[in-house]
Structure 1
C-alpha cells in the first residue's frame, strides 16, 4: 500500500512539474511575452481610468462642499454682468 501511495505521489508531482515547465516555456516565447505586455497595458489603462474617475468625483465633492460652481460651468464676473445692462 505504501509503495502505491508513493508512486501516485511521484507521478502527480511529475505531471505538476511538467505542466509548470510547459507554462513557463510558453510564457517566454514572443507570443507569450506580447500577451503579457498587452495585459499589463490594459491593467495600466484601467488603473488610470479609475484614478481619473476618483479624482473627478472628489473634485466635485470638494467644489460642492466649498460652494463653488461645478467644473466646466463659467462663473459670472462683475464685468460679464455689466455687459447685460
Structure 2
C-alpha cells in the first residue's frame, strides 16, 4: 500500500512538473509573449474604462448633491469677467453705507 501511494504521488508530481515546463516553454515563444502583451493591453483598456465609468458616476453623484445640473453645466454662470471674493465684498460694503451713497 505504501509503495503504491508513493508511486502515484511521484507520477502526479512528474505530470505536474511536465505541464508547468510546457507552459513556461509556451510563454517564452514569440506567440506567447505577443499573447501576454495583448492580454495586458486589453486589461489596461478595461481598467481605464472602469475608472472612467466610476469617475463619471461619482461626478454625477456630487453634482446632484451640490445641486448642479447633471450634465456638467453649473446653474450659476456668468458671461462677464470673474470677480474675486474681495471685489464682491467691496461692492457689498459700498451698497451698505449709512448715507445711502454708493
Q: So what's the TM-score if we normalise by structure 1?
A: 0.81
Does residue 1:24 correspond to 2:15, yes or no?
A: no
Partner of 1:83: none
Question: Could you say what the CA RMSD is over the residues aligned between the two structures, in angstroms?
Answer: 1.9
Gaps of 5+ in 2: 80-102
Partner of 1:15: 15
| Alignment: residue pair count | 79
Gaps of 5+ in 1: 80-85
Please report how far the alpha carbon of residue 3 of structure 1 lies from its aligned counterpart in structure 2 after TM superposition: 1.4
CA distance in 2, matches of 1:47, 1:76: 35
Q: With CA pairs under 8 Å and 6+ residues apart, which has the higher RCO, 1 or 2? A: 1
Q: 1:72 to 1:6 in 2, by over 3 A?
A: same
Question: Which runs of structure 1 show a deviation greater than 2 angstroms over 4 or more consecutive aligned residues?
Answer: 70-79
Greater fraction of residues in helix = 1
Q: So what's the TM-score if we normalise by structure 2?
A: 0.68
Please report how far the alpha carbon of residue 70 of structure 1 lies from its aligned counterpart in structure 2 after TM superposition: 2.2
Q: Write the mapping of 1:32-47 to structure 2, written as runs, cut at 5 A.
A: 32-47=32-47
Partner of 1:60: 60
SS in 2 for 1:53: helix
Structure 2 contact 68–74 (Cα < 8 Å) conserved? no
